[in-house]
Chains A and B, each alone.
Chain A
Amino acid sequence: MIRFSKKIVNEIENHGEKTYPEECCGMLLGFSKNGIHFIEEVMRIDNSQDENRRRRFFITPEQYRQAEQLARDLKMELLGFYHSHPDHPAAPSAFDTDHALPWFTYIIISVKQGKAAAMTAWLLNEERTQFIERIIIVDPIPVSSSDRKFVHAPQ
């Protein structure tokens, strides 16, 4: 399960719409507890793919390093990445699976004709063979570190 606020949803949607028809990408920051990822911040990353940005995104090792550093500076964890699928469903492609890491949450936002559509979240299985869809809970108000006591409280 992953949880985040409406603000996070808006930020990812806005980013996907802004870069349309190209793919956008960014990092997910927050904290994890009992296997649940709480996303508190998202940060945009420039898509470093040289060509075919409509169908591919690429985050360089240097950008990745900076993402880890930023997480450390903010005293958060790097929980994963989001990217958009312009005019395609919000389902991971074989290419996504091939390039995925364990534990990370991968959020995919489908952007249809410039408008943000479905949003899904995924986790790579231990055998690395496929993605398992994660349940997204959108909290009406931002979850902050001080609200961590609500972790087990069903909404």
Chain B
Amino acid sequence: MSIKIFIPTPLRPYTEKQDTIEVEGKTVEEALKNLTSKYLPLQQHLYSEQGTLRSYINIYVNDSDIRYLSKEKTPVKETDSISIIPSIAGGVEVTEAEVEEDIQLSPEEILRYSRHLIIPEVGLNGQKKLKAASVLLIGAGGLGSPLALYLAAAGIGRIGIVDFDVVDETNLQRQIMHTTNDVGRSKLDSARESITGINPNVLVETYPFRLSSDNALDLLKDYDVIVDGTDNFPTRYLVNDACVLLGKPNVYGSIFRFDGQVTVFDSNRGPCYRCLYPTPPPPGLVPSCAEGGVLGVLPGIIGTLQALETIKLILHEGDPLIGRLVLFDALKFKFREFILKKNPDCPVCGIAPTIHQLKDYEQFCGIESPTKSKFNFDTPEITVAELKNRLDHGDDVTILDVREPNEYEIANLGGHLIPLGELPGRISELNPYKEIIVHCKSGGRSAKAVRFLMKSGFTNVKNLAGGIDAWSQQIDPLVPRY
């Protein structure tokens, strides 16, 4: 069965100038395969190196774009015709932070930046670019610390920081811009002090609230480069989409235990976060640093790499880490680089984007925001005081600990240990007829475990509110906090 394929003008040099080619095929895929095997050079213009249709190549069956039919599996019959229709796109490079003439360095600054000024790639002009630049840091934690310190030291003119947290003891192992004396203070106050201490020439702007769909565009639009140092998926998607919509580069880093990732998402020149991860992982699948831990020096390594890329973007020097994802494995000491391609079907930066404004990212990531949550009604809870009371009365309850074995070693309540990730496979270890109290460190993972067990038919399960942390604070200070 032969099908007619319409060839657009620019591809006709490869089809002996014919505008219509007849090939065999029952589906679009078969027909195109037969076309490219007949005219081999067409392959590279229609398909990317990964073998997917190029983003600007649209395939129509009669008058319908196959994206809205069954894509390449769309069946074709004798009377149908296939058209190869390019969409034409282009535009300018990302706006260069054109250095205004009136940016001057004081004698103090010239002395301070002298090691920069004598590098040809930076020089006076580059240092002025740094001074004219503005960088917004999302998060003043593990990644935010080295970022803020090095960017300030390098002479970035304006640094903005978004964070709503307070410094606590568990931060000090890695968040080096906060000190022991800062415990209990707002991270922003502490950050401002550290930055100004390193370089009083930097203008520090602080935003003490949670970045949200309502404020993100307004906040990001006034900065040249956005640096994502967050530890949660809703904020990552939010930062990504806002950056794509505003056309801003997003210097991305993430860390977990001994592994780090770093790349630059700039949808004008390469892929975005959604091209790499179109959909978020199911809630709870990927543990945060608070749940899974992180080696303290790791954010130092990844954060400084982000600072490096930020500076390169501002200077327009070297090869930016756009379209390349670098994974760092600290235990093996290996840096591995992966090429990232722009996804033509990307809903936010693809050829026909469907996302034109910010949305509810908590919901997108399957997380209900605390204010809307019916959490407390759904998940039966018990307080640490109640539990203590019942244990003192000799009640026969099973305590299930869903933390990781190494956490169990630091502190435990003598419960039965089944890490949350292993629970589905080890559910048979639990007696469904007995009352089960589930706990983790502070109540998040155990709530998931309770919901899972209830779904699996357990009727008498309760979540220990506040977890072992609450137990240690309210009941038994001899149980160490971590």
Contact = CB atoms under 8 A, between A and B. Distances in A.
A94 B86 CA distance: 18
A77 B12 CA distance: 11
A61 B91 contact: no
A94 B95 contact: no
A56 B9 contact: no
A4 interface: no
B86 A61 contact: yes
B65 interface: yes
B13 A61 contact: no
B45 interface: yes
B85 interface: yes
Interface string B400-414: 000000000000000
B92 A88 contact: yes
B91 A95 contact: yes
B89 A99 contact: yes
Contact of B10 (A88, A94, A103): A103
B92 A78 contact: no
A18 to B, nearest CB: 18
Contacts of A148: none
Contact of B44 (A78, A83, A92, A128): A128
A59 B356 contact: no
Contacts of A55: 91-92, 94-95, 247, 268
A87 to B, nearest CB: 8
B245 interface: yes
A90 B89 CA distance: 15
Interface in A35-85: 49-52, 55-61, 64-65, 68, 71, 77-81, 83, 85
Interface string B128-164: 0000000000000000000000000000000000000
A128 B44 CA distance: 8
A57 B91 contact: yes
B210 interface: no
Interface stretch (B54-62, B198-206, B273-281): B54-62
B92 A103 contact: no
A58 B88 contact: yes
Contacts of A88: 92-93, 95
Contact of A64 (B12, B88, B342): B88
B8 interface: yes
A71 B10 CA distance: 13
A94 B93 contact: yes
Contacts of A77: 9
Nearest to B356: A50
A64 B92 contact: no
Interface SS majority for chain B: mixed
A119 interface: no
B92 A86 contact: yes
Interface residues of A, number: 40
A139 interface: no
A93 B91 contact: yes
B325 to A, nearest CB: 18
Contact of A52 (B55, B86, B247, B269): B247
B93 A101 contact: no
A81 B351 CA distance: 18
B54 to A, nearest CB: 9
B90 A96 contact: yes
B10 A95 contact: no
A64 B90 contact: no
A61 B58 contact: yes
A99 B93 contact: no
Contact of A101 (B11, B353, B356): B11
Interface string B7-41: 01111111000000000000000000000000000
B89 A59 contact: yes
A93 B270 CA distance: 12
A13 interface: no
Nearest to B13: A103
Interface in B233-270: 245, 247, 268-269
A61 B60 contact: yes
Given A98-B342, A102-B45, A71 B9 contact: yes
B87 interface: yes
Interface in A96-130: 96, 98-104, 106, 128
B131 to A, nearest CB: 22
B230 interface: no
Given A83-B90, A98-B342, A99-B90, A104 B83 contact: no
B60 A58 contact: no
A96 B60 CA distance: 24
Q: List 9 tightest A-B contacts by C-beta distance, closest first.
A: A56-B91, A59-B88, A88-B92, A96-B90, A101-B10, A61-B85, A103-B10, A61-B58, A99-B89
29 contacts: A23-B91, A50-B356, A52-B91, A52-B247, A55-B91, A57-B89, A58-B351, A59-B89, A64-B86, A64-B88, A65-B83, A85-B92, A86-B92, A88-B93, A88-B95, A93-B91, A93-B269, A94-B93, A94-B269, A95-B93, A95-B268, A95-B269, A99-B89, A101-B56, A101-B88, A102-B45, A103-B10, A104-B10, A128-B45
